[in-house]
Structure 1
Amino acid sequence: MIAVNSLILYIRLAIISISGLLYTRFSLQALGISDYGLYSVIACIITFISIINTIMVTTSNRFIAIAIGKNDKEEACRQFNVNLVIHVLIALLTIAVALPLGHWYIVHHVTYDGDMHMVHTVFNVSSIAAALSFIGVPYNGLLIARERFLVFCSTDVAMSLFKLFFTYLLIDHFEHKLIIYTFIMALMTAFPTLVFYAYCRRRFADTVRFVFVRELRKYKEVVQFSAYIGIGAIATIGKAQGSALIINMFFGTVVNAGLAVANSVSSILQTFANNAQKSISPQIVKSYAMGDTDRCTSLVCLASKATYLSMFFVSIPFLLVPEFIFGIWLKEVPPYAVKFTYLLIVDALIFSINAGVTDFVNATGRIKFYQIIVNSLMVSSIVVGYLVMKLGHKPAEFLFYVYITFSSLVFFVRPFVLVHISKFDVWRLVRDSYLPVFLITLLFCVLFFLKPVLNVVVCLAVAYIYYCLLVLFVALKPNERAWLFGVVGKRLRR
């Protein structure tokens, strides 16, 4: 099941990645550097508003998956309805609170040379679309818990192709490009809710039938769990999107355009890497719910190793020959785009090593200590980064040096926190996950010294062949290697 789900996710990713790269180029051509940078700033504000959405996806998935793991259909229905009621309230609250706060931020902190009235319109439309998307979160959580990856994968593919098509049209057509672009993005944001609702009503009618749950205890459990998950979501999104706001404060929308391009690349690469974790995540939760500790530990180690190796695999061109890639990809490369991309990839690689750990912690439900310690460090990186920019008058890339430093601290702290809250076998995680990926990274660094004497195409070809050999003979254990050879041999015989 994990292998099939992974295949579906990677097919989806191949389409989305190509569409995403072209979509970024077309968006930059259609809007221009300044307007594209502006939209990235507004998108950051919307992402802050959508923090609750990010929190609740994890929460919905966890509670529904636990009930499914215990094979309790009635409990799964109750948990779904508890989450649905909470999300409807969240959507209403978001519109009531976010609009005035967002407009205040735009007036006092957004730097833009054009029509500020248009900026407010862009924010209004994007905020309402984000609020509507909240209602689809419990349905998304149910699909993940049921491992129906084909449904939201096909939805994501359709959204990507629609965005690509309309953004391409925008280059040579229409006058008010930023407004039209905003409405297209808003429509694509709200679209999945309709698809997920229709599918779940048809396939999981017993689970999604409306039942008003009167037990306040269940709402309290979800809200408490969400509050601690929220610490992590605020830290993660604050770090990712806060960088754009800090860059805008000190350097303006032109440098924001470079960061927006870098974020697009980083987002695509992380999506590719997270596919490995996403297909394993429901199995971790269900294994824990069934009391299968050994399988749960194995899956955590597998998720961590697979996520890092996948992230490294797709990052190779941007690490070795970023100038060549950007020269082919973009007609006009914004300032700092290459440098930001390199640093964001390094930061993401450090974080990806512990990909399966968070799923295990969420499954246990003992997340308070973990979230407070780990994410306090992440929040500190934003504060320190801002102070470095404000007091030191450093170049823009110094912000990401600060982020990388704190990401390294988080990496070293996580295993100690994990031992404190559970009986997890950390040494097994070190042996089966940490050591292989560190060794592969160290051995791969040899290619950076050979890069100046190799042709670009030859360099990439050698890099991928060398990396695949490293994964095969260093990262994989004998039983994993035997399984892989068996699968490949079976396919070739067919």
Structure 2
Amino acid sequence: MQENTNKSIAVNSLILYIRLAIISVSGLLYTRFSLQALGISDYGLYSVIACIITFISIINTIMVTTSNRFIAIAIGKNDQEEVCRQFNVNLVIHVLIALLTIAVALPLGHWYIVHHVTYDGDMHTVHTVFNVSIIAAAMSFIGVPYNGLLIARERFFVFCLTDVAMSLFKLFFTYLLIDHFEHKLIIYTCVMAFMTAFPTVVFFAYCRRQFAAITRFVFVRQWRKYYDVLNFSIGIGIGAIATIGKAQGGALIINMFFSTTMNAGLAVANSVSSILQNFANNAQKPISPQIVKNYAAGNLDRCTSLVCLASKATYLSMFFVSIPFILAPEVIFGLWLKEVPPYAITFTHLLIVDILIFSINAGVNDFVFATGKIKLYQIIVNTLLVSSIVVGYLAMRRGMPPEYLFYVYIAFSFMVFLVRPFIIVRITKFDVWALVRCSYVPVLLITLLFLPTLYLKQIIGQMLSVVVAYAYFVILLYTIGLRKNERHYVNSLVRNKLLRKH
């Protein structure tokens, strides 16, 4: 079983990284073209509206993890009928969430726009952008159980192919928008809304064809199953509120105390950090369903090994792709953007540090969620995250510069990193020392040894310092990041490749 699952992880990782390479390049160009087409003010406005929608759709965000967990657990138990029941329970819940979101979003969103959004243009445009975006978001909610089924079945190529197609279309459209069309913001919003809702159609069609026995509609009358899903989602909800509040609250707080111009800088920084984090999460994504399935099958040793692997791989992947933005941001932003918004580089640096700290425990969440014992873990961890929003807001209210908001976020993320091992020992049978030994120690050693390279750009210039830093990082990764058996595997792979050529 282990050999097969390792091969599955490797194949799915390759698919995800091919997808990411295309999406990352498209995403960087898309941000530049969007900024050129809309201008700093309208681009900042759209980022604020996106934050509002994210807050309103928080219930659906809670259910994403819940759906994936219950479907994967049923698959791990090898019970086809139970998988069908769990899928339909989650589908019914998500249809209700979509309807509830529209009912709640319209009055709440318009109230926020009237009282808190700062915009120099026509406020009717703001309301139109919001209405179109929220309807598309509600439609996308219905696709969540189908997406959860694809992840649990490890059919990553389906949503990878969909993401690539949507990304390339988005890139083409934003480039076209620069020199064509009037009412650019409205047209931009409508196209973005279409691309938000379209994946649901693709996932529905594929799952109905490939998993007909699972996705056939059956109204489940076992109310306990709905209760179990909703009860589990309450614990997840604490985390979703905290995570979304931290990620999106920054933009709303910046808008309250500064302007949409400053929001444009943060939107650019969020675009960069999102691409980098997606790259890092690709290391974790193929491992996550394996953690849940192995826990359901009672294979705890394999679970521990996978959690350690996910945590280490996510952090080191994030570090690897962040190096150019750490050492040569002025060069990259100058080539990338025609006009660099205020604070874009500063926000990018601070977001990278915050995400790096948070990613060290990437595999722990999957293990805790697989156990179902999430209440204590979620309360403690996410109380700290919510506290970071409150403290950050108070700092801005006292007149602090905008970067201080993210200093606060970083401080609280470090607190979360420190308390997580103690919490997991209290609620689960998990070998924390294996996590410390196999994940924490190597990544912290690599980070400390890498720090002197930050001064290279003052000696040899920015671009050359990036090349030297990458070579040094690969050496650190090979000697410290890989365990003995992993180094042996890499050596064998390289040796076999060389022998084939001769």
Note whether the superposition's TM-score is higher than 0.5: yes
Q: Which residue of structure 2 aligns with residue 215 of structure 1? A: 222
Q: Following the alignment from structure 2 to structure 1, what is the Cα–Cα distance between the partners of residues 335 and 411?
A: 32
The corresponding residue for 2:447 is 441
Deviation at 1:273, TM superposition (A): 0.1
Residue 251 of structure 1 is matched in structure 2 by: 258
> Which of 43, 64, 70 lines up with 2:71 in the alignment?
64
- Could you tell me which of 260, 264, 268 is aligned with 1:261? 268
Give the TM-score normalised by structure 1.
Answer: 0.99
Deviations 1:152-195 (A, max 9, x none): 10111011001000000000000100000000110010011000
* Aligned with 1:473 (options 466, 469, 479): 479
- The separation in 2 between residues aligned to 1:437 and 1:263, in whole angstroms, is 24
| d(CA) in 2 for partners of 1:149, 1:425 | 30
Q: Deviations 1:265-323 (Å, cap 9, x if unpaired)?
A: 00000000000110100000001001011100000000000000000000001111111
Alpha-carbon distance in 1 for matches of 2:59, 2:498:
47
- Structure 2 partner of 1:165: 172
Letter in 2 for 1:91: A
Which of 86, 93, 117 aligns to 1:79? It is: 86
Deviation at 1:483, TM superposition (A): 1.3
Which residue number corresponds to residue 3 of structure 2? Answer: none
Q: 2:277 aligns with which of 256, 270, 277?
A: 270
Partner residue, 1:430: 436
The correspondence for 1:133, drawn from 124, 127, 140, is: 140
Distance change >3 Å, CA 217–CA 433, structure 1 → 2:
same
1:156 aligns with 2:175: no
Once residues 104 and 493 of structure 1 are traced to their aligned partners in structure 2, the CA distance between those partners, rounded to angstroms, is 67
Alignment-derived partner of residue 410 in structure 1 = 416
8 Å CA contact 2:266–2:343 kept in 1: the answer is yes
Task: Report if aligned partners of 2:166, 2:195 keep a CA contact under 8 Å in 1.
Answer: yes
1:400 pairs, out of 394, 399, 406, with: 406
The offset of 1:492, in angstroms, is 4.3
Determine if the alignment matches structure 1 residue 117 to structure 2 residue 124: yes
Deviations along 1:33-91, whole A, 9 cap, x unmatched? 00000000000001112222222111111101011111000000000000000000000
- 1:301-359 CA distance string (max 9 Å, x none): 00000000000000001111111111111110000000000000000000000000000
Matching residue of 1:177: 184
Pairing 1:454–2:463 present: no
User: 1:352-431 alignment to 2 at 5 Å?
Assistant: 352-391=359-398, 393-431=399-437
Shift of 1:487: 2.8
Cα distance in structure 1, aligned partners of 2:369 and 2:112: 34
- Select 1:341's aligned residue among 335, 348, 359: 348
Give distance in 2, aligned partners of 1:490 and 1:114.
Answer: 63
What is the match of residue 25 of structure 1? 32
Structure 1 CA distance for aligned equivalents of residues 197 and 218 of structure 2: 25
Deviation at 1:96, TM superposition (A): 0.6
SS in 1 for 2:285: helix
- Tell me, in whole angstroms, the C-alpha distance in 2 between the residues paired with 1:191 and 1:48: 21
8 Å CA contact retained: 2:328, 2:463: no
Aligned AA for 2:494?
V
Alignment of 1:171-320 (within 5 A): 171-320=178-327
For 1:464, the equivalent position in structure 2 comes to 470
1: CA distance, partners of 2:494 / 2:265: 41
Cα distance in 1 for partners of 2:84, 2:414 equals 41
95, 100, 108: which is aligned to 2:107?
A: 100
Equivalent residue in structure 2 for 1:484, among 451, 476, 490: 490
Structure 2: distance between partners of 1:303 and 1:371: 20
Q: Aligned partners of 1:222 and 1:486: how far apart in 2? A: 46
Provide the C-alpha distance between the structure 2 equivalents of 1:192 and 1:239, rounded to a whole number of angstroms. 27
Distance change >3 Å, CA 248–CA 68, structure 1 → 2: same
CA distance in 1 between partners of 2:220 and 2:113 (Å): 40
- Tell me the distance in 2 between the aligned counterparts of 1:457 and 1:97: 50
1:226-279 deviations in Å (ceiling 9; x for gaps):
111111111001001000000000011000000000000000000000001101
Read off the aligned partner of 1:320 and give its amino acid letter: L
SS of the residue corresponding to residue 279 of structure 1 reads coil
What's the CA shift for 1:390? Answer: 0.4
What is the aligned-residue RMSD (CA, Å)? 0.8
Contact 2:446 2:476 survives alignment (8 Å): yes
Could you tell me how far apart the structure 2 residues matched to 1:22 and 1:409 are? 36
1:456 Cα offset (Å): 2.5
Q: Deviations over 1:433-470 (max 9, x none)?
A: 00000000000001012220113232111111100110
Shift of 1:493: 4.2
CA contact (8 A) 2:97 2:141 kept: yes
Unaligned runs of 5+ in 2: 1-7
Distance 1:138 1:446 in 2: 47
Give the 3 Å change call, closer, same or farther, for CA 48–492 of structure 1 in structure 2.
farther
For 1:473 and 1:452, the matched residues in 2 are separated by 27
1:2 maps to a residue whose letter is I
